[in-house]
Amino acid sequence: MPANVTSDIQTDVINVNPVEHSRLPGVDLNNPGFGRLFADHMFSMEYKDGQWQNPAIVPFDKLEFMPSLTALHYGQSIFEGMKAFRTDDGTINIFRPEKHHERLNKSCRRLCIPEIDQDLFMEALQTLVKLDRDWVPEKKGNALYIRPLVFGTDTHISVSEAETYRFLIMTSPVGAYYKEGINPVRLMTSSNYVRSAQGGAGNVKTAGNYAASLLPAKKAKEQGFTQVLWLDAKEHKYIEEVGTMNIFFKIDDRLITPPLEGTILGGITRDSVIQLALEWDVDVDERHITIDELFEASGKGSLQEAFGTGTAAVISPVGRINHNGSEIILDENQIGPFAQRLYNELTGIQYGEVEDRHNWIYSV
């Protein structure tokens, strides 16, 4: 057995079945790309007869299902995305896993999926990351992305909530999410499409939200933009969020971000940024902001910075915003000072270089 596969990790509840040969020797962890490479193992658990059962860690491999799998037809499928970081002393730090678990269960409830127990979730996560710890990249900026996924596994094609489910956690060594790295991204609003309406499922992480965003995102890319800046579904004037990020603006020294009122995903990075800003005595307004107000602020010179926040990119400065052909051009070449400070603080905490005053880190 190769040195990096530890066979002595066993827990009382989780059956651990390690791979015979790790795939790691063939992998360049310095250039992992994003989300196309997966570590040796995954966690897997089934729901049937009214309870979650058979928690196990198994080799990351193909699954076999019937073509009538309900999740494929009607999208009863939810997921999470978090990261683990390697510190200089070799400790592996997972960022805010309890918060991700909380959001996972919120998504479960919205999609009629049975919730996952927190203790079991944490044990699964810890056991999995420990087993595949050598897959956590050393290079700063790289990390092990952790993808929990829950989906309906009934095999019929009637539209109803499933009676059986599968819960998986897979992990993937990753580098920068955007090819721009920490350089500014370009956003455009969409006049034809919306992401989510009041009463929909925009505030949870369900597969269908992302499926429906692909076409508008593709159109934005064809026009030279990185992602869509979503506006509200009803009046089409309030700024909501970006494809996989929440959005922040610094205007007249105040930090402004749209409120969580049901249509926006409550980002864990968003929450962390708000806490840090308040600690630094920066005024934070979680309030509605129209695209027109943003253009006015830009015209007056009071729009200081714009940036997105999300697990994948952490802080992503926005360099350009296009709305119906008009453009706001921020700094296209570099990150603003406040976004940079947030980036340094957050990544500092994640890589164990800045004190974790908020108990955000779960060390493995």
By beta-carbon distance, which residue lies closest to ligand PMP? Answer: 267
CB 269 within 8 A of CB 246: yes
CA 222 to CA 190: how far, in whole Å? 13
Spatial distance between the Cα atoms of 82 and 46, rounded to a whole number of angstroms: 22
334 touches 184 (CB < 8 A): yes
- Exactly one of 265, 276, 321, 330 binds ligand PMP (CB under 6 A); which one? 265
How many angstroms separate the CA atoms of 259 and 279, rounded? 19
Based on the shown chain and the rule CB under 6 A, indicate whether residue 257 belongs to the binding site for ligand PMP.
no
Stretch that binds ligand PMP, among 109-117, 139-147, 274-282, 303-311 (CB under 6 A): 303-311
**Whether 55 contacts 45, CB under 8 Å:** yes
Which is nearer to ligand PMP, 47 or 238 (by Cβ)? 238
Tell me the closest approach of the beta carbon of residue 210 to ligand PMP, in angstroms: 7
Q: Does 310 bind ligand PMP (CB under 6 A)?
A: yes
Is the Cβ–Cβ distance between 127 and 57 less than 8 Å?
Answer: yes
Tell which one of 18, 32, 55, 81 touches ligand PMP (CB under 6 A).
81
- Determine if 226 is a binding residue for ligand PMP (CB under 6 A): no
CA distance 59 to 42: 6
Q: Which stretch binds ligand PMP (CB under 6 A): 137-145, 277-285, 306-314, 339-347?
A: 306-314
Stretch that binds ligand PMP, among 179-187, 263-271, 278-286, 354-362 (CB under 6 A): 263-271
227 binds ligand PMP (CB under 6 A): no
Is position 246 an interface residue for ligand PMP (rule: CB under 6 A)?
A: yes
Is 270 a residue that touches ligand PMP (CB under 6 A)? yes
Contact with ligand PMP (CB under 6 A) among 226, 244, 257, 316 = 244
Cα 211 versus chain centre, distance: 15
DSSP codes, 184-206: PEEEE--SS--S--TTSSTTS-B
- Closest approach, Cβ 83 to ligand PMP, in A, equals 9
- Hey, how many other C-beta atoms are within 10 angstroms of the C-beta on 72? 17
CA terminus-to-terminus distance, the chain: 23
Binding region for ligand PMP (CB under 6 A) out of 20-28, 116-124, 153-161, 309-317: 309-317
Could you say which of 129, 146, 268, 346 contacts ligand PMP (CB under 6 A)? 268
